[in-house]
Chain A
Amino acid sequence: MRLSFLCPNPVPGLDPAVLKLSIWKELLHAFRDKHVFIYTFLVPVVLYPLIVIMAFDFISLREAAREKSVKQIGLAGKLSDYDPAQRRAIDCLFANKDFKRYEPEANTQADLDWLIARGAISGYVTKGKNKQNGFGLAMVINHDLNGIALVAAANETVDKWYDQTVREAYKQKGLSPFNARPFKVKLQDSAPDQKGIFSLALAFFVFSILYLSLGAAYPAISVSAEESEFFTLDTIRIVPASAWSMMLGKWWSVSAIAFLSAVLNLVSMLAVSVFLSQQAGNLIKGFSLKSEFALPATSYAWLFVAYVALSLTIAACMILTASLCRSVRSAQQWVSIPLSLFIFIPVLALYPKNILSEKTALVPLMNLVLMVKACVVGEISPPLFYTAMGISLCLAAVCLYLAKKILFDMETDPLKLVSYLVRQHKKA
């Protein structure tokens, strides 16, 4: 395949043939590295499903334990405010030993909302707006797994009582029982302004950025520190070929592997999620994997662009770090510093208040992660996206320039050079 279109020609210092050759060599050399194989393919593709399955089992067990535990349920207003039928349903609910009434009574709805948000109560019973559903009762619960399970349990408790007593009584009297559930369920987020906080798609994309960083680490070491350690850098320094083309070849190869790592991780996560969605559907009523990823085509296009920009930026930072090292072992230690940073940034970006704005668009790398977040929550803003990509790619260009200086032009250890400059400055 001709790759010359990737590099404009004629450009001083760039040679498409050397670039193509460099990409071929770097990819071949990197793919045969067992570290690259483990961290780029094995970990995201194989280890991730294991983690997810374990996490899913953990959540299931936790939910099962929660279902068994006694739930504190509040009551809006006084019991005497409710009509006799409603009181009987409420009594029935609290007759179940799994539900305990929250004391003191006579709370306002606002108080109870706050108590839910704090986690002090699991939910509360209040009057519905109309009585079309039979009892005219509503149960307000938090919109999470525990809340959904709670409603199911509450309805089941009252349904049982209703089926055994009211329905039979109506039937015996020859009357038609109303056919409805005792509680009308109202789901409520504890932080309704925190858009996208529970988005599974967002978690998937942000999680894959971690693997993108991990996927870039070993290829970056392979193209820089390993070349120093095995003296292959000397051999490519003395060939009559453009150093910039070779440097770009290294950069694009590492970026491609990092991108591939993230994509494989996403595919793996989706595959596992499809596999587990049936069980998830049982656990979370109304859960739909398809709806979680139902993003517009423009969002996916921007996501692709953001991932490419992330791969290029992270690869450049990793190459710079690894090129400062003279051995693979030391590079493995030093690369852990930017790696920790790149793992921390996506986690930070998950905070609901962190969104892509005119200010955050100026923070390299963080802005790209926030761009991914914006794409997932549907807040497409091309001017901010261009700014974010421009700033991050500027960082990548600086890193690449320094790495090229170190790998191809520098005559001494850069750290020694800095030490020398500091001494000269002190002497002066």
Chain B
Amino acid sequence: MTLVVNHLKKRFYDPGRGEFFACDDISFEVAKGEIFGLLGPNGAGKTTTLRIISTILKATEGSVTVCGHDVEKEPEAARALIGFLSSTSGLYERLTVTEILQYFGRLCQVDEKTLAERIKRLLSSLQLEPFAKARCGSLSQGTRQKVAIARAIIHEPELMILDEPANGLDVLATQVMHDFVRESKAQGKSIVLSTHIMGEAEKLCDRIGIINSGRLLACGTLDELKQQTGGNNLEEVFISLVQDKDLMRS
């Protein structure tokens, strides 16, 4: 397994809400070459889960291993295997596209010759060549997202973590994103994709985990989820699971 998430819990404190669990006993696995979708409404705990997997946050309880490396005990080894991409592109406004790729490639200890080849290949495959010397602050949202993709995969990670990557993108930029996900899968990369867009999850994911209020309500292929809930499509499955949960609570 590329990714194993085991009984993950994350407690936060908010002055208004007091203590609360953003992730409450979440467990799932992602195999090599698999696209795992984490589907849930806003505030369900998707981003927190992904941030713990990508070592940005530390879990309160539970464990996460990436290709056998525990993210808490061996964060640097795990980081070398992870590529993280979110809707907020996280680019340095005053660095050029090439400078950003060089910076992150070197930080990820890619040797200079390989780095130069990868930059050339990525610029070409993502149609970024005309923008190679442009500063990121001057790029359109779609182009920025392409640069963010290139930055996330410059070190050829085994596990891609995509946190609502198509948020705020137009149709064409979304298509580029979806193509990238499919290509990564074809290359044998494992992908964890968080989204609240049903169509996106249905179209791209091999397995889907439905998350709400920090709890993983169900996990399986689309057919398994349909069988489990009796829904005809993902939207019905999702509503059924979330409403059941809310009824149980009330």
**Interfacial residues, chain A to chain B (CB-CB below 8 A):** 17-18, 21, 25, 28-29, 32-33, 230-232, 234-241, 411-412, 416-417, 419-420, 423
Contact = CB atoms under 8 A, between A and B. Distances in A.
A25 B103 CA distance: 7
B74 to A, nearest CB: 10
B97 to A, nearest CB: 14
B94 A231 contact: no
Interface stretch (B37-45, B77-85, B175-183, B240-248): B77-85
A229 to B, nearest CB: 10
Contact of A235 (B13, B14, B84): B84
A162 to B, nearest CB: 71
A231 B90 contact: yes
Contacts of A230: 88, 90-93
Nearest to B84: A238
B173 interface: no
Most buried by B among A239, A416, A419: A239
B90 A241 contact: no
B108 A232 contact: no
Interface in B65-124: 76-77, 79-80, 82, 84, 86, 88-95, 99, 103-104, 106-109
Contact of B76 (A32, A235, A240): A240
Contact of A416 (B15, B95, B104): B15
Interface of B: 12-15, 51, 54-58, 76-77, 79-80, 82, 84, 86, 88-95, 99, 103-104, 106-109, 135, 151
| Chain A, interface SS category | helix
Most chain B beta carbons < 10 A, residue from A17, A232, A240: A240
Nearest to A245: B107
Contacts of B56: 234, 237-238
A420 B13 contact: yes
Contacts, number: 76
Contacts of B76: 240-241
A32 B84 CA distance: 27
Contact of A241 (B51, B77, B94, B107): B107
A417 B108 CA distance: 32
A416 B14 contact: yes
B12 A29 contact: no
Contact of A232 (B51, B55, B92, B109): B92
A312 B56 CA distance: 28
A148 B76 CA distance: 71
Contacts of A420: 13, 15
A411 B91 contact: no
Contacts of B151: 235
A177 to B, nearest CB: 76
A350 B61 CA distance: 56
Contacts of A25: 92, 95, 99, 103
Nearest to B106: A21
B90 A232 contact: yes
B15 A239 contact: no
7 A-B pairs with least C-beta separation = A32-B94, A231-B90, A240-B80, A240-B79, A231-B88, A239-B107, A235-B90
B109 A28 contact: no
Given A411-B57, A412-B12, A412-B13, A236 B107 contact: yes
Given A230-B93, A412-B13, A419-B15, A240 B77 contact: yes
B95 A28 contact: yes
A420 B16 CA distance: 11
Contacts of A419: 15
B13 A238 contact: no
Contacts of A28: 94-95, 99
A156 to B, nearest CB: 61
Given A234-B56, A416-B14, A239 B90 contact: no
Given A234-B51, A238-B82, A423-B15, 4 more contacts: A28-B94, A232-B90, A235-B104, A236-B107
A311 B84 CA distance: 35
B93 A234 contact: no
Contacts of B12: 412
Contacts of B91: 230, 232
Contacts of B103: 21, 25
Nearest to B93: A230
Contacts of B57: 411
Given A234-B56, A235-B84, A238-B56, A416 B77 contact: no
Given A21-B107, A231-B90, A416-B15, A29 B95 contact: yes
9 contacts: A18-B107, A29-B94, A230-B93, A234-B56, A234-B86, A238-B56, A238-B79, A239-B104, A240-B79
B11 to A, nearest CB: 10
Nearest to B58: A411
Contacts of B104: 235, 239
A240 B109 contact: yes
A238 B54 contact: yes
A261 B95 CA distance: 22
Contacts of B13: 412, 416-417, 420
B145 to A, nearest CB: 13
A21 B91 CA distance: 17
A239 B79 contact: yes
A234 B57 CA distance: 10
A9 B243 CA distance: 58
A237 B55 CA distance: 8
Nearest to A20: B106
B50 to A, nearest CB: 11
B111 to A, nearest CB: 12
